[in-house]
């Protein structure tokens, strides 16, 4: 039985911009290593974004919540930077809440403490769709 796989393809959200952002993060991780503070990584990210003329907002405060996200890049991608031993479910949920509140489609959660950088792409969950988990 032949199935049409073209209908099952998932479209990658903002592939070019997310590729540039993760490239910046890999470069910074290679340059600074994994034992710096979150602020040092964010300072370097900000410097690189400026050099590449990418628009961004740093420590963007979400209205009515008081929460601050690390970066909102090109008014499209939320970038959350961590420098901790492990990424926790709470970190994922935090990024997902930011996506929901701001109505953005993509968040990148990056932990610079990891030996090998593994950017996590977090896609906004469509809350209008009822999903049954089995």
64 band by pLDDT with thresholds 50, 70 and 90: confident
- Report yes or no: 69 and 62 within 8 Å, Cβ to Cβ: yes
Distance CA 20, CA 113 (A): 20
Which of 3.40.50, 1.10.10, 3.40.1350, 3.30.70 is the CATH number of 13-122? 3.40.1350
Mean pLDDT, the chain, integer: 89
How far apart are alpha carbons 109 and 69 in whole angstroms?
11
Per-domain residue ranges of the chain:
13-122
The confidence score (pLDDT) of residue 9 equals 54
**pLDDT for 6 beyond 90:** no
Residue 128 pLDDT level (bands cut at 50, 70, 90): low
pLDDT at site 134: 39
């Amino acid at each position: 039985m032949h199935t049409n796989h073209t209908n099952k393809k998932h479209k990658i959200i903002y592939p070019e911009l997310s590729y540039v952002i993760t490239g910046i993060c890999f470069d910074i991780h290679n340059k600074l290593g994994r034992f710096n503070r979150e602020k040092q990584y964010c300072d370097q990210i900000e410097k690189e974004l400026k050099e590449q003329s990418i628009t961004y907002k740093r420590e963007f405060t979400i209205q009515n919540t008081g929460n601050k996200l690390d970066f909102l890049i090109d008014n499209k991608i939320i970038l959350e930077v961590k420098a901790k031993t492990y990424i926790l479910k709470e970190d994922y949920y935090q990024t997902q809440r930011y996506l929901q509140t701001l109505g953005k489609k993509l968040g990148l959660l990056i932990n610079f403490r990891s030996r090998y950088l593994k950017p996590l792409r977090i896609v906004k969950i469509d809350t209008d769709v009822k999903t049954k988990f089995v």
